Amino acid sequence: MVQELLDEYVACATQCMSVDYGDKKSVRRYNKASDRMRAITDEVVAMGHDAVGRLATLLEVEPASGWVAHHLVEKADLDPETTRKCFAKVEEMIAEAEAEANLPDAMGEKMWLQEWRTKKGLG
């Protein structure tokens, strides 16, 4: 059951990569896929710590890694090492956005990171 959810999560993340913001249908598919990833995270969290650990393996799988970093921090009770890995992934995303001169994405990720570090008592 968990593996099927992980596979679906990766498929949703892959679908989100092809969004065309000029096409309403594409944006709807993107929104549906991103909503589904959040729902999958909720389902996995409800299955317990071992299932969350399996979801955390997606931190090493593109294109799911950035999505799962956010969803795990927001929805799961994580051990310190997994939390560190999630925050490191977001820091990597900030550096990539800055390197690409995508300042709005970089700023958004920085704000998210600051907010969640504070909420987790790490800020």
The enclosing domain of 109 has a CATH number of 1.25.40
pLDDT at 110: 97
Q: How many domains, the chain?
A: 1
Domain limits at 26? 2-119
pLDDT at 116: 96
Where does the pLDDT of residue 13 fall: very low under 50, low under 70, confident under 90, or very high at 90 and above?
Answer: very high
Residue 29 burial by CB count (10 A; 0-12/13-18/19+): exposed, middle or buried?
middle
pLDDT at 4: 98
pLDDT at 122: 86
| Amino acid occupying residue 45 | V
pLDDT tens, residue by residue, 32-77: 999 999 999 999 999 999 999 999 999 999 999 999 999 999 999 9
